[in-house]
Structure 1
Amino acid sequence: MTITFDYFSIAISVFLLLLALISPWFSSMARRPRIKMADDIQNASENDVDESTCNSDSTETTEVHTPTGATSALPFVSIVLAVHDNACELEERLPQLLEQQYRGKWEVIIVDESSTDDTQDVLTRAKAKYPRLYTTFIPESSHYISRRKLSLTMAVKASKGDWILITDIDCKPTGNRWLATMAEHATDDKDLVMGYTSYDADTPAYWRYDRLNTLCYQLHRIKNGIAYRNVGCNLMFRKSDFIQQKGFIHNLVHLRGEYDFIVNEMATPDRTAFVYDFQAQLCQRCPADKTWLYDHLYYLESRTLMKRGLRHRLLCNTDQWMLHLGWLLPMAALAYAISASNLVVTVAATIALLLTLVTRLTIFLSTCRQFDEHISWWKAPWLEVRTVWQNAWLMWRHRRADRFDFIRK
């Protein structure tokens, strides 16, 4: 192998090094707002806030400052969720939902979608213990519209709260201040409040990475204009806006996508808050393989009706192109240089690969720390590369699926 300082070798080497410096920053995690979670901020401070109060001024939103426009009166919040054959989950989750510490007015409304197990018995016992719990049901005979969206619409219309906080029964709060922390951001200058929903530790690494990656894209959209969709099951919105937008009237036949449709239709520029606080976080039970698959297929169907999707997909596709170019071109150059005994290009390609690896790992680990996700560092390159092929497979599955798999017949 010889050292050859010809123009071609120098040009290739410079290009590879520039690519290694630039390509890692074409990723959702590199664009995410770099804000510490509120618990980290409080631990680093002298902790001069009275922890006995339910409101804290130390949390931050995507504007990177303390929320403004707050009123002295705490908002009346209605926690809403729909259930179907979830007796076991209700036994475990109801105390966590109904024993939240919040000084304002609040209620919990649960809609039973004609369960056939012991769901009604569990709810009856809980109502006797918790006076703020209200329940209703939808009949089995409802057709042609999504039962989940019908349930949520009924609950919202029956609620007394000014703000609606929706979640799913397979999610649990990380503590008893979830409601209070979310409500702190329900200020006059916000219409939507979003919190993070992580998967539990038993969930496959790629599923956790996929959610974190999707979240970072949405945080970028919130920070730089207007929210596109929701991530997880932790969303708060104004009842009046939901009624004014006529709820799910434009997508009522679609079985799922309720969180995404609410955000996509109700979001306006600079009026969405994301709560960077572990106390506002939910933990979702590891879904079954079929559930995870259908959640993604439902999104592919729902996005055909969602606004602002072209810009989102363009950004995702650009990131994937840069990701693969950042790995494949240096590998191809390295193979060529070794076969041609070109030491200059060999060294440059090797440095480019190492620089790409180190930069991407640094960004990945920093993002995991920010959202308290524990994913092994050595899996990061494979998880990133898997995304484009996983999405291609999902789109293939979606195109082969029957349209009636996604709508209420």
Structure 2
Amino acid sequence: MLILDNITIVICIILVVFAICSSLFDTFFRKLSDEEDADGVENQKPVSVIIISDNNGRELDDNLKCFLSQDYPAGYEVIVVVSRDEDGTSDVLNSYSKYQNLYTTFVPDTSRYMSRRKLAITLGVKAAKNDMILLTDAVCKPNSDKWIASMTSKCRNGVSLVIGYSNYSDDASKFKIFSRLHREYAFMYEASKGIAYSTCGNNLLFRKSVFMEARGFQGNLKYVRGEYDFLVNKYSDFGNTAIAISPDCMLIEEAPSRKTWKNKNMFYVETRKHLLRSFKHRLIFNMDMFFLYICLLFAVSSVIYSVLCYNLLVIPFSFIALVVPFIVRILSAKRVMGLFNTHVSLWKVIPFELALVWHNMKSAFRYRMSDKYEYISHKS
């Protein structure tokens, strides 16, 4: 039975509005703007690649050669800074002694009251001979031998900070890969439209002169993690930040263990408390999740209402509120996954997006139940 009254009109209007908002607020619906690289090899400058190793002897043995075999005519050095060596990392580094552009340094065992990883980065930057610094971790490897060239090509027109994309290898769980893509895409979109908020990757280019002038990690050295977050949040400004999304710019990170994945998310809950512009970033994500859920719940509720009240006019609008946002979200995710060469089945997109908020809540709950002193360095 078709009933056209005020309640029916209001319900139909709300369904259409929710369908539109759910589509427009989708993180993947927004498009990144990535300028074409215009600079040629004649404008390239020498680079210092800093790799942080924290008991990563096996990963270094697997990945270091990829960094040492980059195609970059301007020349580069690779500095491996060992934060901890309890697994024979030194022996691995000794096996690469034939490479003339490889240098190593170690964080002193007596270092205390500060993050060893942030100290490792600081030591690496101070040891660097070049102003351009490319920072990453031993658990990563370049997707191409043009990684350095592609990242440095973005460092022009006043740009002093370049955020490159990285994600887990294909043997990681699909949800972890999707979650990483979703968060990193949101970060990159913010960076492309103004001041960057953060990054969840480990693929960063910045200038030594800027880092030293602003006194590096001053103000947050005591926090155990968040080194990439603090670098981006502190040093990004209007006009000085670029994103790098071409396949040559990407890094592939080893699939994290369950413990590593859990700790990474818990440490981020602590880190974001100390970042500037955190409210704005979280508001955008929360609006995305709000309209995704409210559209789904209202559409289902309206179907139940139409059946109980024999008001069939509401059903097609409920169908629109259910199907249209899902189609838009799936197509947008497909476009983004193609852009970043990420492989997740399209039928998993909606379930994974629905799971993101619950995953974040679980990480926040674990953080609240944990000892807060675990996130602050007391001694090493």
TM above 0.5: yes
Letter in 1 for 2:91: D
Q: Mean Cα displacement is larger for which, 141-150 or 5-14?
A: 5-14
Deviations 1:90-146 (CA, angstroms, capped at 9, x unpaired):
21111111011101121000112241222111212212x100000111222221111
Is residue 211 of structure 2 the alignment partner of residue 239 of structure 1?
no
Pick from 327, 332, 336: which aligns with 2:301? 332
Deviations 1:71-107 (CA, angstroms, capped at 9, x unpaired):
9442221000121322221211111110111011210
Contact in 2 for aligned 1:228/1:307 (Cα 8 Å): yes
Letter in 2 for 1:380: V
Q: Which residue of 2 aligns with 1:267?
A: 236
TM-score (norm 1): 0.89
Is residue 76 of structure 2 the alignment partner of residue 106 of structure 1?
yes
Q: Secondary structure at the match of 1:343?
A: coil
Aligned length: 378
Is residue 181 of structure 2 the alignment partner of residue 182 of structure 1?
no
Q: CA deviation at 1:336?
A: 1.1
Q: CA deviation at 1:157?
A: 0.3
Pick from 62, 65, 69: which aligns with 1:95? 65
Contact in 1 for aligned 2:64/2:141 (Cα 8 Å): no
Contact in 2 for aligned 1:10/1:344 (Cα 8 Å): no
Cα distance between partner residues in 2 of 1:301 and 1:231: 14
Cα distance between partner residues in 1 of 2:21 and 2:277: 27
Cα distance between partner residues in 2 of 1:352 and 1:317: 19
Q: Which residue of 1 aligns with 2:133?
A: 164
Q: Which residue of 2 aligns with 1:310?
A: 279
Contact in 2 for aligned 1:71/1:187 (Cα 8 Å): no
Cα distance between partner residues in 2 of 1:263 and 1:226: 9
Q: Which residue of 2 aligns with 1:21?
A: 20
Contact in 1 for aligned 2:159/2:240 (Cα 8 Å): yes
Q: CA deviation at 1:66?
A: 4.1
Cα distance between partner residues in 2 of 1:306 and 1:6: 50
Deviations 1:215-251 (CA, angstroms, capped at 9, x unpaired):
2211221122111112311000000011011111211
Cα distance between partner residues in 1 of 2:4 and 2:334: 38
Q: Which residue of 1 aligns with 2:339?
A: 370
- C-alpha spacing 1:388/1:191, structure 2 compared with 1 (3 Å): same
Q: CA deviation at 1:19?
A: 2.0
Contact in 2 for aligned 1:256/1:298 (Cα 8 Å): yes
Q: Taking every aligned residue pair, what percent have the same amino acid on both sides?
A: 34
TM-score (norm 2): 0.95
Cα distance between partner residues in 2 of 1:260 and 1:377: 30
Q: Secondary structure at the match of 2:94?
A: helix
The runs of at least 4 consecutive aligned structure 1 residues that moved more than 3 Å come to: 64-68, 70-73
Gaps of 5+ in 2: none
Pick from 33, 48, 52: which aligns with 1:82? 52
Cα distance between partner residues in 2 of 1:11 and 1:110: 63
Q: Which residue of 2 aligns with 1:208?
A: 177
Cα distance between partner residues in 1 of 2:147 and 2:262: 28
Q: Which residue of 2 aligns with 1:321?
A: 290
Aligned-residue Cα RMSD (Å) equals 1.6
Is residue 255 of structure 2 the alignment partner of residue 286 of structure 1?
yes
Letter in 1 for 2:64: L
Contact in 2 for aligned 1:32/1:219 (Cα 8 Å): no
Q: Which residue of 2 aligns with 1:39?
A: none
Contact in 1 for aligned 2:151/2:249 (Cα 8 Å): yes
Q: Which residue of 1 aligns with 2:102?
A: 133
Gaps of 5+ in 1: 36-60
- C-alpha spacing 1:258/1:117, structure 2 compared with 1 (3 Å): same
- C-alpha spacing 1:66/1:111, structure 2 compared with 1 (3 Å): closer
Pick from 145, 156, 177: which aligns with 2:114? 145
Contact in 1 for aligned 2:84/2:107 (Cα 8 Å): yes
Q: CA deviation at 1:276?
A: 2.4
Q: CA deviation at 1:169?
A: 0.8
Q: Secondary structure at the match of 1:3?
A: coil
Contact in 1 for aligned 2:28/2:329 (Cα 8 Å): no
Q: Which residue of 1 aligns with 2:123?
A: 154
Cα distance between partner residues in 2 of 1:65 and 1:81: 28
Cα distance between partner residues in 2 of 1:299 and 1:224: 23
Q: CA deviation at 1:188?
A: 4.5
Deviations 1:310-369 (CA, angstroms, capped at 9, x unpaired):
111111111111111111111110111112111101222123212222122111211111
Q: CA deviation at 1:252?
A: 0.6
Q: Which residue of 2 aligns with 1:9?
A: 8
Q: CA deviation at 1:268?
A: 0.8
Q: Secondary structure at the match of 2:80?
A: strand
Contact in 2 for aligned 1:71/1:188 (Cα 8 Å): no
Cα distance between partner residues in 2 of 1:93 and 1:245: 32
